[in-house]
Chain A
Amino acid sequence: MMERALPPSRFGQWFNTSGWRTIIIAAPYLWLTAFFFLPFLIVLAISLASNAGTSPPFQFAAEAPYVHADNFRRLISDDLFFRAYIASILNAGLTTALCLLIGYPMALALTRFSRSVRNILLMLVILPFWTSFLLRIYAWIGLMGANSWFNKGLTALYNLITPDAYALRFIPMMNTSFAVVLVMVYCYLPFMILPLYANLEKLDMTLNEAAMDLGSRPFQVFKDVTLPLSVPGIIAGGLLVFIPASGELVIPSLVGNSSTPLIGRVISDQFSYARDWPMAAAVAIALLVLLVGPMMAYTHFESRAQRRPGDDA
């Protein structure tokens, strides 16, 4: 009892007053700096170097300014890259749109179940993650093959509605853009459902009742209340699907058509087959700018709109 407390050290004092908060806030920033920003700078630096037979296979120019933009110039001039970007963005856009179309009703339906049923259904949404990503793609390859029940069933359905003259023995699905979109929608659907569900679940049901009380039919209630209030969820889910989908490499190379290269494939080929690291880096940087640029513009305008009171009367 008579023991006197040690005078607190300077660090202890600092820690107790504001230090712990600083450390907690700093931790994610340090993480982002070490594992995102620094690697990004390295990639950026490589994109400004020249291809060389050295190891690693790039070289900076011998004299100031040591860097050049030749790779970016090639990026713009070569038609191949442009087509790959367009194809990737269209592909990712279509995947995102389909995920939204399928995922929105599912997320909305989830919110209408009782809590216990809801948890089971949510589990089912997440369940596919427990199987290897590659295994699931190979499963689809099996399903799309000419002799699978899936293909046979679809073919039968197709033959039922088309004249006999156009009857098919099977539907060629493998190695088509259709296969790419189908498997991508399947793989990315949970990334759309989960943020949408999180958003829709928070919405106040009395708002729906209020709208109905004010003379709106169920679909009008959805259009006027639920849909506008779920825009943040749509954006979050859309980004979570669109961004990885636009750089997707594995799915197009396993089930896709090699004659229409997607940008992930281009980066991979430049990096491994052509051993042109600077070019691969330039393609990756350009993709990042293409994706992050519009996002930052959106955030900027969104926050400006938020700050102005009552501007959309």
Chain B
Amino acid sequence: MMEERARQAEDGAGFIRIENVSKSFGSFKAVDEVSLSISKGELFALLGGSGCGKTTLLRMLAGFETPDAGRIFIDGQDMAGVAPYDRPVNMMFQSYALFPHMTVEGNIGYGLKYEAMSDAERKDRVREMLELVQLTPLAGRKPHQISGGQRQRVALARALARQPKLLLLDEPLGALDKKLREHTQFELMNIQYKTGVTFVVVTHDQEEAMTLANRIAVMDKGVVRQIGSPTEIYENPKSRFVADFIGSINRFAAAIVYVKDGIAVLDCAELGQPLQARAEDGFEPGMRVTAAVRPEKITISRERPEAGNVLSAVVHDLGYFGKDSLYRLQLPTGKMISASVVNTRRAGENERIAQWDDAVFLAFDPASVILLRD
């Protein structure tokens, strides 16, 4: 499925092109010189905190906002001056925005009302959509008579009924509870795959973006900080902002001392000992950098292990989450480090690898160290 999607994506590269788009509200720069290219059939996520400009960008794609500068192309067509009702784009609103006075069927069929098609075709399309989201038995209900999850599916079916070239989803899972989210997430991916429509999802939830999208643009203060696959964004963040925003991370101020045999050795006062990292292009001796390690890349052990980086530490705090545990450990220098341990074994409270105030060893591979330019 993933390969299929990648192939689809390659065929239609540049299906949606956003070129140097800016938008200000008063003195507030919501979107600042953003350029993006999204391929046909891609599930693309715009990820960022509130006020980062992701929603403004989405609204510009839908045609509700006009860019101050820059251009937007959808399937080669310049969108400048094209009204929302003339765009081959549909949107699933965060609040779903279902018409309260219409039935489920009426809502789904609304987008076809002014389309040039016969009543029979219209009926067929609505039936098809009802089947796609498995709501056929509820066709005659009003929005207030169905559950939140069902409403979300009505909103999705309504937006897909017009067979748009691009579907915009504003926080699609935001209003659902945790259990329903997981289920809906896969359903959404499944429907995207079945229909082949290009999806652009806006979300502030990094987990949602990671599982849904095949590519993510991380946004901050109106600027795209990094674009890449979920793995790239997580394992190879290019800036401190992205590293901090996605997941949690331990950061140390460091300076590169020398590079030898593909290993960079860093001087790091916070650790109180040198740090080894995998050498990367563009990082040379003498540079001041930030070294970062994700908590799950660090292992905790009682005996001193053989590894590129070994630190001794004392357990300061630990949190048990069931499937994993998060340790907060203090180094002799006073620096705090987070390490997460997957609870692979079924163990009682007294059988953990480490308890409060235990002295332990922390180890991580040089390849796990991310180097970030300051």
Contact = CB atoms under 8 A, between A and B. Distances in A.
Contact of A214 (B95, B100, B101, B110): B110
B156 interface: no
A27 interface: no
Interface string B139-154: 1111001000000000
Given A309-B142, A310-B103, A313-B106, A216 B85 contact: yes
Interface stretch (A166-174, A204-212, A245-253): A204-212
Contacts of A207: 97, 99
Contact of B84 (A213, A220, A313): A213
Nearest to A228: B101
A225 interface: yes
Contacts of A211: 99, 110
B54 interface: no
Contacts of B93: 206, 209-210
Contacts of B103: 310, 312-313
Contacts of A204: 95, 97
Contact of A212 (B84, B142, B162): B84
Interface in B146-180: 158-159, 162
B90 A214 contact: yes
Given A309-B142, A309-B145, A313-B140, A209 B106 contact: no
Nearest to B103: A313
Interface in A215-237: 215-217, 220, 224-225, 228-229
B353 to A, nearest CB: 51
A220 B114 contact: yes
Main secondary structure of the interface of B (DSSP, over half): loop
B111 A215 contact: yes
Contacts of B373: none
B12 to A, nearest CB: 23
B113 interface: yes
A210 B155 CA distance: 10
Nearest to A206: B97
Interface in A274-313: 309-310, 312-313
Given A209-B84, A310-B145, A216 B99 contact: no
Interface string B71-108: 00000000000011100011101010111110101100
Contacts of B115: 215
A229 B100 contact: yes
Contacts of A209: 64, 84, 93, 97
A214 B162 contact: yes
Contacts of B141: 309-310
A313 B114 contact: no
B92 to A, nearest CB: 9
Contacts of A216: 85, 110, 113-114
B197 to A, nearest CB: 15
Contacts of B158: 214
A206 B91 CA distance: 11
Contact of B95 (A206, A215, A312): A206
B293 interface: no
A215 B85 CA distance: 4
Contacts of B95: 204, 206
A1 B85 CA distance: 73
B38 interface: no
Contacts of B162: 214-215
A252 to B, nearest CB: 39
A210 B92 CA distance: 8
Interface in A174-191: none
A167 to B, nearest CB: 48
A313 B102 CA distance: 8
B62 interface: yes
B85 to A, nearest CB: 5
A225 B100 CA distance: 9
A100 B90 CA distance: 35
Task: In the A-B complex, list the 10 residue pairs whose CB atoms are closest, starting with the nearest.
Answer: A214-B111, A310-B140, A210-B97, A313-B140, A206-B97, A212-B84, A310-B141, A215-B85, A213-B91, A313-B103
Interface of A: 204, 206-207, 209-217, 220, 224-225, 228-229, 309-310, 312-313
24 contacts: A204-B95, A204-B97, A206-B93, A207-B99, A210-B97, A211-B110, A213-B84, A214-B162, A215-B111, A215-B114, A216-B113, A220-B114, A224-B113, A229-B100, A229-B101, A309-B142, A310-B103, A310-B140, A310-B142, A312-B103, A313-B103, A313-B106, A313-B139, A313-B140
Given A214-B110, A228-B101, 8 more contacts: A212-B83, A214-B111, A214-B159, A215-B85, A229-B100, A310-B103, A310-B145, A313-B103
